[in-house]
Amino acid sequence: MLKALLPVVFVAGLLCGCKTQSVLTADATGCSRTQVDILKSRYSRDGTTTAWCAKCNGRIYHCVSNPERSRVECKEGNPDNVCD
């Protein structure tokens, strides 16, 4: 019985529309999804999932989202940025 439900759960997970930080960053910055790298930062070290740092086309971005991930904003960082 459990084995029969596994494919259903897998397909449901694919269709749920869950967005990763890379996808959210790409959508907010205009970068392609393959160009976005999520950086190790104090956010990732602290386990925060609603704030992160990303790099695209040589630029560093500080991104934030709401817990539902329905809104995201990314701003280009500067030398004093929290992404260091």
Residue-wise pLDDT tens digits, 65-77? 999 999 999 999 8
pTM of the model: 0.72
Instruction: Please report the pLDDT score of residue 4 as a whole number.
Output: 60
Nearest to residue 21, comparing CAs of 43, 46, 4, 1?
A: 43
Three-state DSSP class for 36? coil
User: What parts of the chain have a pLDDT lower than 70?
Assistant: 1-17, 79-81, 84
Report pLDDT for 83.
79
Question: With contact defined as beta carbons under 8 Å apart, do 49 and 38 qualify?
Answer: no
**What's residue 79's pLDDT?**
59
pLDDT for the residue numbered 11: 47
Provide φ and ψ at 36, rounded to 5°.
-90, 130
Calculated CA dihedral for residues 46, 52, 73, 25, nearest 10 degrees? -150
What number of CA atoms fall less than 13 Å from residue 48's CA on the CB side? 18
